[in-house]
Amino acid sequence: MQVYFDNAATTPLEPEVIGVMTAAMRENFGNPSSIHTHGRQVKTIIEKARRMIAGLLKASPSEIFFTSGGTEADNMAIVRSIIDLGITHAVTSPIEHHAVLHTLEEQEKRGLINLSYVRLDERGNIDLDHLQELLENSPRTFVSLMHANNEIGNLTDIKKVSEICQEHNAVFHSDTVQTMGHYRHDLSDLHIDFITGAAHKFHGPKGVGFLYVNGRNKIQPLIYGGAQERNMRGGTENVYGIVGLAKALELCYEGMDVHQQHIQGLKDYMRTELQQAIPDVRFNGNVHANDSLYTVLSVSLPCTEIADMLLFSLDIAGISASGGSACSSGSEIGSHVLRALSSDSLRPSVRFSFSKYNTKEEVDFVVKTVKDLCESHK
C-alpha cells in the first residue's frame, strides 16, 4: 500500500482543476498585457479568477494580488509594510513559518525594525496578554501571526488578534496558507491588513498564490519590471496557475463542510488508534478540534532508538509523511517549532497531514507500521 499523509506540504491536483488549466492552455495562449483580442481574452479569465477569489473571501477584487505562492506573498506584505507604512517595530512568534521568521529577522539585521517575540504556552498557543503588552506604548507595529501552524496544527484566534491590533493601530498580517481552502475567511468581518494563500495547499497547482491587501493600505511592489497586477507585481502572469487556483478554491468552498467532517474523523480515529497501539505516545500542540487544524496531527513517539531513521523507514514501507525531532543527534538541527515547545529532543516526531482523498484503511496501515517499527527496536 502507498499512503500519502503529507498534505500540509502539498496536495494532489483536483481533476477538475487539471481540466480548467488544460482548457486554458489550449484556448488562451495570448499575453494578458497585449491589447489585441488574444491578450484581452486572457486578461478576462485572470480577472474572472480574481473576482471568484474575492467573492469567496468577501473582499474586493482590487485587494487580491496574484503571486508565485505563499512565500512571496509573505515577503511582499512584510518588506513593503516596513518600507511604506512607517513600521519600526514588529511582533511575531517563534513558531512562524520561515517565510515570515527569516524575512523579519533580515529586516532587523538591516536595522529597519526592532523585532519582538510573543510568548507561547507549553502547547504552543499565543499569549494574547503578552501581545497586548508588546503593543502598549509601542511605535507603529507590524504583527505577523499565522492562522494555523504548519507543523503542529495550532489555530490562532485571528479575530481576537485583529481586535488587539486595531486597538493599538498595529498592522496585522496572518499567514493563512494552511487554512485557506479549509476554513471560510470572511474578510468583511475581520480587521486584518494582509493574508496569504498558496494553491498547492488546497488541491491547486504549485507556483501560484495570492496576497490580500486591505484597501486602506497603500504599498509599493516587491517585484518591479512591468505594470502587471495593477502595477503591483512585475512579470507576466502565471495564467494557468491563476485559473487553477481559483477553481481549486471554489471547489473547496463547495465541499468544505463534508470534507472537514471526513478529515476530522480520520484525525480523531488515528489519534485514538495510536494511543491504543503505542504506550506513551504524545501529541504536539493542541488536540481539541476547536483549536487545532483538522488536517494535521503531530505525533511524538517514545521509540528514541529509531529517531534518525523513522521517516526513512516509513518511506520504505510506502508511507509519505514529514516531521522530525526538536534536535537531531544533539545538534541544533531540527524543528524550530518543536524546540520552541521545549519538546524532548530525543523523541522522534512525525507530522501526519490528511486530505479528502485519505481513508480509514490507510490510517490502520500507518498505525500498524509505526507500532511495528517501535516494537522492533525495543
Enzyme catalytic residues:
327
d(CA 101, CA 104): 5
Q: Report which of 54, 52, 50, 44 is spatially closest to residue 24, judged by C-alpha positions.
A: 44
Q: Report which of 319, 339, 340 is spatially closest to residue 330, judged by C-alpha positions.
A: 339
Helix, coil or strand: residue 17: helix
The amino acid that residue 269 corresponds to is Y
Q: How many CB atoms lie within 10 A of CB 220?
A: 12
Task: Yes or no: say if 153 and 285 are a contact pair by the CB < 8 Å rule.
Answer: yes
- Secondary structure (DSSP) of 42-82: HHHHHHHHHHHHHHHHT--GGGEEEESSHHHHHHHHHHHHH
Check the CA dihedral 26-32-34-38 and report its sign. Answer: positive
